[in-house]
Amino acid sequence: MAGIDRRSVLAGGLALPAVAAARAAVPADAEGEAYWRSIAAEYGPPEGVVQLENGNWGMMPRPVLQAYQAMVARVNRDTSFYARRGMTRDLIAARDQAAAAMGVKPQELAFTRNATEALETLILGYNRLRPGDTVLYADLDYDSMQDCMESLRGRRGVQVVRIALPEPASHETLIQAYAEAIAANPRLRLILLTHLSHRTGLVLPVREIAALARAKGIDVIVDAAHSWCQLDFDLADLDCDFVGVNGHKWLGAPLGVGFLHIREGALDRMDRHPANPATGRDDISSRVHLGTYDFAASLTVPAALAFQQAIGSRRRADRLSALRNRWVAAARRVAGIEVLTPDDSRLHGGITSFRVKGLTDVAANMRIAQHLLERHRIFTVHRDGIAGGACVRVTPALFTRPEDVDRLARALPDIVSSARRG
Ligand SMILES: Cc1ncc(COP(=O)(O)O)c(C=O)c1O
């Protein structure tokens, strides 16, 4: 059969030559701008606008896009001839590589189509709740996850408690907020924790909060949609039983890639998916049911991993933080700008949000994002749903240049005065 052979698929298909070329171009001062220019050259961001809204989903770098296109062509050409003769083996190999990259066992990871599917599986499938128990989430959690938690009222007959996280937050006040909620709710059984908030970029001390919860017999579900591959950590570092992740944000995999992580020993706390017969295998694959989907997207994961691993997770996280710190340092000197995300390096990655002091309504923040785009050619997005009020989110990517974030910093005084004028 013509096309990409299994070995090249597992190695990242068409990705490797290009990644190797990018690596070969790395100068001795690998942390320098020349290195990041070589990485940026693998992306093709839009021209004429500074793209600082990279939180919705991530751009695939060119080698990953090429691997995906080749895989789409193969799946389309060979259809069942591939599906019934090796595709499952290749999907398992791709899953195993992702598990190794996350620091979890292969049997603890399953593909999903996005983080929503993984987290919905966990929230709705968690079977230890009894009527009268309590579940808890926070204002910064993702809207559809909040809705899934709220749905447990009717599905499981539980009380649902929502807390507002402190603003400004500190490592201690965040842990304190959850410690107080745990103390105030003796029947608390389940907590949703968003590792890195899509609203403000705030990073929760998940490991510490989960330890407090575990001591009281409370389970934790972690939304790691924005943290994996933005921060430098392994899922194992979180020491949590249930995690939902996607691959199309910071891993740079094609749209339609997610992961469900259930730690060994925790499987029986999750219902089987009804489409998987009770007599079937009792492993993680029985907790989710994808049907026929974009197999080429999952099969491109090795290419995305190869690209990211060539950079390295420490170096990647440091770069994103450095870009963030560069504009935030300038923003903190602009009268009238309030940066919502703390500077404590444990509490942020690349994403950070700001607002013009006192302007907490959604419409004002939409206008600020609009003004940044129209007047300064900088693309950002407003975010709402935060107890302290709406804001503007700034999300750099690996192709973002220091001069891009400097342009944002220079625009901020004008943003303050135009926002105040209304
Ligand atoms: C914090 C958070 N959780 C979950 C999701 C849902 O991810 P997906 O789009 O992969 O379903 C998002 C998406 O933006 C998110 O930001």
Those residues with Cβ within 8 angstroms of residue 310's Cβ, 6 or more apart along the chain or in another chain: 19, 20, 22, 23
Distance CA 144, CA 274 (A): 22
Asked if 94 contacts 302 with a C-beta cutoff of 8 angstroms, the reply is yes
Which of 121, 195, 246, 260 has most ligand 1 atoms within 8 Å of its beta carbon, as the pocket-test mutant? 246
Instruction: Assign 422 a pLDDT band (cuts: 50, 70, 90).
Output: confident
| Mean pLDDT in residue range 18-29 | 44
Q: 393 forms bridges with which residues in the sheet?
A: 353, 381
Going by C-alpha positions, the residue among 420, 340, 331, 349 that lies closest to residue 386 is 340
CATH architecture of the domain formed by 75-304: 3-Layer(aba) Sandwich (3.40)
Q: Could you tell me the two tokens for 153?
A: 């009222």
Q: DSSP per residue over 142-165, as a string? A: -HHHHHHHHHHHHHH--EEEEEPP
**Res 361 pLDDT > 50:** yes
Residue 342, preceding peptide bond in cis (omega within 30° of 0) = no
Class of the CATH-defined domain 314-421: alpha beta
Domain boundaries, the chain: 75-304, 314-421
Distance CA 413, CA 262 (A): 47
CA torsion, ordered 268, 269, 274, 275, to nearest 10 deg: -60
| Mean pLDDT in residue range 73-94 | 97
Distance 141 CA to ligand 1 centre (A): 10
Taking CB atoms within 8 Å and a gap of at least 24, the contacts of 284-292 are 284/107, 284/108, 284/109, 284/110, 284/260, 285/110, 287/110, 287/121, 287/125, 287/260, 287/262, 288/110, 288/112, 288/117, 288/118, 288/121, 288/260, 290/111, 290/112, 290/113, 290/117
Residue list, ligand 1 pocket, CB within 6 Å: 114-116, 142, 194, 198, 223, 225-226, 246, 258
Distance 139 CA to ligand 1 centre (A): 15
Distance 245 CA to ligand 1 centre (A): 8
Instruction: Assign 335 a pLDDT band (cuts: 50, 70, 90).
Output: very high
Distance CA 406, CA 141 (A): 30
Distance CA 148, CA 143 (A): 9
Which of 57, 249, 251, 255 has most ligand 1 atoms within 8 Å of its beta carbon, as the pocket-test mutant? 249
Instruction: Please give the model's pTM, rounded to 2 decimal places.
Output: 0.93
Instruction: Assign 176 a pLDDT band (cuts: 50, 70, 90).
Output: very high
pLDDT tens digits, 190-211: 999 999 999 999 999 999 999 9
Those residues with Cβ within 8 angstroms of residue 185's Cβ, 6 or more apart along the chain or in another chain: 134, 136, 159, 161
